[in-house]
Structure 1
């Protein structure tokens, strides 16, 4: 995982926006990402200190639509929920200024 970023992107749902009010942020991460690599990547990309990282694997989902004629598949992926040290907050959609230039 040396060349790839551990973080794919932030998860923007109603549930994740409720988590942001509690200073917790949800990110979709690579399948082989670890808690340590996610913590380092958040520090590098956003410039904030991470207190805790929780990782979960979201299982794949298949369902039939249109009276059973079409099958929709959602692949399994890995999700990380991070909480910050102290009473800090940040916008997960905006990277720190040094990374944008």
Structure 2
């Protein structure tokens, strides 16, 4: 898989933005991606050094529209922590 196929989009929430000071960034990633794949993709795309990667599967939520109901799609989230000597990811710095 190419790095662009592994890292799908950044997650921009209050909780994820609070981790930027500790060089912790959150991304939505491909469901089949491993921690090693995610670390290599982040290093390739942003030119940084990854210290560790934490992943979790986010379940789909039940949603209703009148009498019709269904589930949103499930997805995988990765929290990437960079090394102390690594530079920051400029994309997130512009949002602060």
TM-score interval (norm. to shorter): 0.7 to 0.9
Aligned partner of 1:57 in structure 2 is 57
**Once the two structures are superposed, what CA deviation does each residue of 1:31-85 show, in whole Å capped at 9, x if it has no partner?**
10001111111111000000000010001101335xx445364210000000001
Unpaired runs of at least 5, structure 2: none
The 2-side partners of 1:7 and 1:76 are apart by 16
Aligned partner of 1:90 in structure 2 is 89
CA deviation after TM superposition for structure 1 residue 20, in Å: 1.4
The 2-side partners of 1:42 and 1:22 are apart by 17
Alignment CA distance shift 1:92-1:70 (3 Å): farther
CA RMSD of aligned residues (A): 2.3
**Higher Cα radius of gyration:** 1
Aligned partner of 2:30 in structure 1 is 30
Once the two structures are superposed, the pairs formed by residues 67-78 of structure 1 within 5 Å of their partners are 68-69=66-67, 71=69, 73-78=71-76
**Maintained 8 Å contact 1:10/1:92:** no
Unpaired runs of at least 5, structure 1: 95-101
Aligned length: 92
**Maintained 8 Å contact 1:23/1:83:** yes
Alignment CA distance shift 1:80-1:92 (3 Å): farther
